[in-house]
Amino acid sequence: MNKTVISVIAILALLLPAALLLASPPYVEVQPGSAKSTATQGGYTWMPGPLGGPDQLYAVFRLGPLTAGKAYAVTLTYDAGTDIGYAHSWIDGDPAAKDFVSLVGIGTGTGTRELKGKEDKFLFTVDQKSTSNLLCLLVRSNKPWSLSLGLADRPAGLTRNSQDRWGYYYVTDFDFDRTSPFLLTRSGAAAPAAAVEPRASGYVELAPNTTQPVVTAKSFAGMPNYFGGPDGYYAIVRMEPLAAGRRYELTLVFDAGTDIGYSTAWVDGDPLGKDFASFVGTGTGTGTREMKNKQVKYLFTIDPKSTSALMYLLLRSNKTWELKVGLADRLTAGLTTSSQDPWGYYYVTDFDLDRNSPFLLTRRQ
């Protein structure tokens, strides 16, 4: 064999891995507001073992351009009943490259019950700090699988308790599961920052020595089950600024007799965020006896070692509830747990006396 032939063979050997990579099936590009149909197939010779290896069938979707801080919904549509096992991985970066990370993965199947046009929905948010505008969704199956993927803004009212027309729960909320927001840093152009949206209805800013009207409502689809889940009626009060070492008096004012069940949770950190701690919770109700402008008072102290001046009060009710919430840094003279209201009821809870406070605040959100 002459030197020319040997050189050509050597060059082809060097180029072969790149040629195989280029010969792999292309990614499916899905922009917000669109849907694309495809089928899983072989040919992904480069597929890393942690994502399934080269011997499986795949479809790889590139979702974008995405906006930092924005919430999205992905819809997988397919015919159930084909008994196909499948999995999907949500990836920051190109899975064919060396620099990628799988943010979350799920394995399931199409089942044996025939359901034409079955949908699975996935809700997620792009982290406000993202520097990339692309998210890869890798779908793997054990045999060829035809499906459609749609990307859209998150629909109002869609929660993990929503059911499809066959009565199945079909929504996965990655925000609720605390695997999202997704911080994207490894591919694509910089994600443009979303316009700062006003805080969700139901948040109430409450400074010391002020009173604010509050209405509980179904406005928190991402409420963790720890606090009651997304189906309750909520209001979240942000108490700020609170002084370390100071004692406070919080007052709820409402019309009793409406037979509304309600609870309170006193929280360090945003209860809708990923890092919070609930100090104490109480549960009661407005009862059936009519009492206009009924008051309930809570006394507490902020721990002197606190590094945050913010605490949340989460109010949950079983139906819409109108009330007022007041906060004072000077206690009513002579107020104790033995104090009675005009109707003869004890109406004061002292968290210091119950050893639930002082509240150590460390989570500034």
pLDDT averaged over the chain? 87
pLDDT at 37 over 60: yes
* pLDDT over 90, % of the chain: 68
pLDDT at 11 over 50: no
Q: What is the pLDDT of residue 189?
A: 54
For 34, 115, 120, 251, 362, the CA distances from 164, given in Å and listed in that order, are: 21, 11, 9, 43, 42
Least confident of 11-25, 32-46, 130-144, 349-363: 11-25
Domain over 203-350 is classified CATH 1.10.530: no
Within its chain, how far is the Cα of 324 from the centroid?
Answer: 28
- Contact predicate 282/337, CB 8 Å: no
φ/ψ of 282, rounded to 5, equals -130, 150
For the chain, give every domain's residue range: 25-173, 203-350
pLDDT at 17 over 90: no
Q: What is the pLDDT of residue 218?
A: 83
Q: Which fold has domain 25-173?
A: Jelly Rolls (2.60.120)
pLDDT band (50, 70, 90) for residue 31: very high
How many Cβ atoms sit within 10 Å of the Cβ of residue 289? Answer: 11
Q: What is the pLDDT of residue 181?
A: 93
Nearest by Cα to 64 from 124, 23, 24: 124
pLDDT in tens, 56-74: 999 999 999 999 989 999 9
pLDDT in tens, 150-168: 999 887 677 888 899 999 9
Distance CA 239, CA 179 (A): 28
**Using CB atoms within 10 A of its CB, is residue 318 exposed (0-12), middle (13-18) or buried (19+)?**
middle
In single-letter form, the type of residue at position 109 comes to: G
Rounded to an integer, the average pLDDT of 107-133 is 93
> Higher confidence at residue 175 or residue 192?
175
- Contact predicate 214/323, CB 8 Å: yes
According to DSSP, the residues that pair with 322 across neighbouring strands are 215
pLDDT in tens, 73-96: 999 999 999 999 999 999 999 988
pLDDT in tens, 260-307: 999 999 999 999 888 899 999 999 999 999 999 999 999 999 999 999
How many Cβ atoms sit within 10 Å of the Cβ of residue 80? Answer: 20
Helices (H) and strands (E) in the chain, counts: 1, 20
pLDDT at 188 over 70: no
Q: What is the pLDDT of residue 155?
A: 76
Instruction: Report the SS3 class of residue 186.
Output: coil
pLDDT at 202 over 60: no
**Using CB atoms within 10 A of its CB, is residue 311 exposed (0-12), middle (13-18) or buried (19+)?**
buried
Query: Is residue 19 within a helix (H) or strand (E), and if so which, with residue range?
Result: helix 3-23
Spatial neighbors of 39 by CB under 8 A, at least 6 apart, are 59, 144, 145, 146, 147
Greatest CA span in the chain, whole angstroms?
109
Question: Would the CATH topology of 25-173 be identical to that of 203-350?
Answer: yes
Structure-token pair, residue 308: 């945050």
Whether this prediction's pTM lies above 0.75 is answered by no
